[in-house]
Amino acid sequence: MLPTTAFSALLGSAAAAALLAAPTQAQTWFTDQSDAYGVGYKHVDGNFSYAMGGGAAWFDYDNDGDEDLLATNSFGRHDMFRNDGGVFTEVTVESGVELGYITDTIGVMAGDYDGDGWIDVYLTNSGANILFHNNADGSFTDVAAAEGVAGDDWSSCSAWGDWDKDGDLDLYVGNYVDSLNFPYHFGGVNRYYENQGDVVGPRFVERAAELGIDDFALFGPSISGFPYISPEGQATAGCALSICSIDWDEDGDQDILVGNDFGQWVTPNKLYRNDLDLGGGLAFTDITEETNFDERPHYNMGINGADYDHDGDWDFYKSNLGDNLLLRNDKGLFADATYTAGVASGETADGTLLVSSWSIQWADFDLDTFEDLYVSNGVIPAAPFIKNDPRAANDLYLNDGDGTFTEVADELSGAADDGAGRGVAMCDVNRDGLLDFYLMNNGAPGVGIQSDFCRLFVANPAMVDPANGFLQLRLRGTTSNWEAFGSRIDALVDGVVLKRQLLGDPVFLCSSSREVHFGLGTASEVESVQIHWPQGTFQEIVGVPRNLQLEIFEPQVLMSGLQPTEFDGANKVVRFKVDLASVAAGDEAYGVLLQVRFGEGGPIVHQASAGGVLGGGGSTTQTFEVPVTPSIIAAITGQGFEFDVRAYVVAGTAVDSRRNVDPIP
């Protein structure tokens, strides 16, 4: 189990919970460890999935503290691998996820939809979808029809999120094609299933059309230069292949970004802004055009967001059949930064074939604080004008920290794998602070070859500067949804804010580990971790040591303020006042720890603790008085001219804290 954010983990001088592994002799960034871990897997394509799948999910289905693996199939059984401390055992039959041999599954998304603390799984299929309810005994039961989320569409992708901020998970499903008519396919409308909680009958109610987020559109005129006739004016919808549920404008509610295949022929990508914060209830506005979100319509496969340039807002990378697209966010307007950044990845070296890209993962592979980029590539059967490389290698781009990237040579990547790459699911499988991933290779005839197994690529610590550190967080909601989907996490490292969001959506068909990962560079600690929980709670943890893996619980007793230090010369005391507030329904016991240092980051010269019980919804101020003694005066001398004050409140398993640096008069 991960250590919690107790005083001992945060403040003690003991070694960190997990340190980087010793360097090895390998000279690639990743090594294929599929056989070593026993998770090699052969994907077989289905009758109606058209070489689109497959997806994989990392999630702790048995609640033992480590991440298990579900690998889906389109024509054949799904495989479940239980992880017991890094040893994987195939438990497909006993888990109940095999479901025969013809499901035409394309994607998978894990999420605890009923809030019972056991993670469930949703599978998108060509036909009725599957919702595997976790029975808390190592097995799953399909409840999709009973809960109202089975549908009967050609579904590709799905996302869990709390868009209405009522504390439970809703479900958005992206549908692909309703009727084939290349390239003017009639797309399938998307679905938004609102979670009604524990009710009699189906838990979910479908509201996408009502809310204007079903991706409905009308065909435009025919595109000149091609022998295809558009059904101009007829109703259609986007051919969705990806969803991103990020709060892109950071107004406190999750938005919906939809990536559509055949964008220039059918309808382009969409950016739906969630206007719940405006006070009129759940509502969305399509702001695609006004933000330039779909500046270059294309065959969108995946969407993923990151603040890759550390300028404080969310940028997006989109995969494509042809040149991919990096959208840089410039104060709410997107600009194409693909070519200046050097991440197009769109054609073969000789320019004769396109490259088809699918899953895209932002991750700080080298722990230098800047997120890098991994892109899975793989052939898809296509018309001559979009013919693509049958054996395209995957791409690894390292972020140079100046808005550009350096592509790692295939022989140094170790994960270049030239199979028919599709989904990529991220996880630190060996708990060394470096991100690993599972790659799904499609096994359709004429697409993959017999040796194209799905692969587990494990990061090689020898390629990472040993001076660089990491921080990994697992969040647990109490008022918010249990997995904390929709949380925003900002880490202050050497004066720079590193941004993450915890989302329940696929990048392309896959469900990655929900642990939040930061590379810290050479920083000795994280100055503060600030968490904006989905239900609006603000939490801060200051002075977090590097190389920790922490489980953080949403607090019920908050530190609402740390008042400026009071210097009482008349009584020769210094006062420190800590303001507390409870958001709990009933009484909550709490403890407060105060640390005072002379000089920012200097030695601790005073430490005190206090505690009490705070009534539900109540508030109080905890006051600490420190006499100004000769020893205090001696400690000040030569140490600096400010107090570095840190206060921590603990209630149950949750910690909240604040820090002030106050000048000494």
> What span, in angstroms and rounded, lies between the C-alpha atoms of 215 and 171?
15
Same domain, 454 and 582: no
Summarised one tens digit per residue, pLDDT across range 97-130 is: 876 455 688 999 999 999 999 999 999 998 899 9
Question: What gap in Å lies between CA 147 and CA 58, rounded to an integer?
Answer: 24
Q: Is residue 21 part of a domain?
A: no
Task: Say whether both 177 and 296 belong to one domain.
Answer: yes
Cα–Cα distance measured from residue 583 to residue 652, given in angstroms and rounded to the nearest whole number: 13
Are 550 and 2 in contact by the 8 Å Cβ rule? The answer is yes
**Domain end marker among 438, 459, 480:** 459
Distance of alpha carbon 267 from alpha carbon 62, whole angstroms: 41
Exposure letters 144-178 (e unless 16+ CB within 10 A, then b): beebbbbbebbbbbbbbbbbbbbbbbbbbbbbbbb
State which of 426, 459, 492 marks the end of a domain.
Answer: 459
SS3 413: helix
Please indicate, yes or no, whether residues 212 and 360 belong to a single structural domain of this protein.
Answer: yes
Domain of 590, CATH number, reads 2.60.40
Which of 141, 118, 133 lies closest to 61 in space, CA to CA?
118
Residue 307 lies in a domain: yes
pLDDT (tens digit per residue) in 16-49: 333 333 344 458 999 999 999 999 877 766 555 5
Task: Let me know if residue 121 belongs to a domain.
Answer: yes
State whether the Cα torsion 323-324-328-329 is positive or negative: positive
The verdict on residue 497 lying in a domain is no
Same domain? 566 vs 455: no
> Tell me, what's the pLDDT at 74?
80
Cβ 521 vs Cβ 369: under 8 Å: yes
Segments in 83-169 forming alpha helices (H): 92-95, 144-147
C-alpha span between 251 and 275 (Å, rounded):
9
| CATH code of 54's domain | 2.130.10.10
Other beta carbons within 10 angstroms of residue 205's beta carbon come to 15
Burial 606-627 (b: 16+ CB within 10 A, else e): beeeeeeebeeeeebebebebe
**Helix runs in 390-497, H state only:** 410-413
Among the three residues 459, 486, 518, which one is the final residue of a domain in this structure?
A: 459
Exposure class string for 372-411: b at 16+ Cβ within 10 A, else e: bbbbbbbbbeeeeeeebbeebbbbbbbbeeebebeebebe
Judgement on whether residues 257 and 401 belong to the same structural domain of the protein:
yes
Domain count for the chain: 2
**154 touches 177 (CB < 8 A):** yes
Say whether both 437 and 586 belong to one domain.
Answer: no
Amino acid 16: pLDDT: 33
Residue 480 falls inside a structural domain: no
Please identify every stretch of the chain with a pLDDT value under 70, giving residue numbers as ranges: 1-26, 44-50, 99-103, 444-451, 631-640
- Same domain assignment for residues 119 and 263: yes
Q: Is residue 430 part of a domain?
A: yes
Q: Is there a domain that residue 77 lies in?
A: yes
Same domain, 449 and 586: no
Are 432 and 565 in the same domain?
A: no
Q: What is the DSSP letter of 564?
A: P
Instruction: Indicate if 323 and 454 belong to the same structural domain.
Output: yes
Output DSSP code: residue 504.
Answer: B
> Residue 636 contacts by C-beta under 8 Å, 6 or more apart in sequence?
598, 664
Predicted local distance difference test score (pLDDT) of residue 15? 30
Q: What are phi and psi of 8, to 5 degrees?
A: -65, -35
Tell me the three state secondary structure of residue 398.
strand
Sheet containing strand 469-476, edge to edge, reads: 516-521, 469-476, 548-553
Range of the domain at 324: 30-459
In a shared domain, residues 445 and 577: no
Q: Do you find a cis peptide bond into 466, omega within 30 degrees of 0?
A: no
Instruction: Tell whether 287 and 142 lie within a shared domain.
Output: yes
Is 509 contained in some domain? no
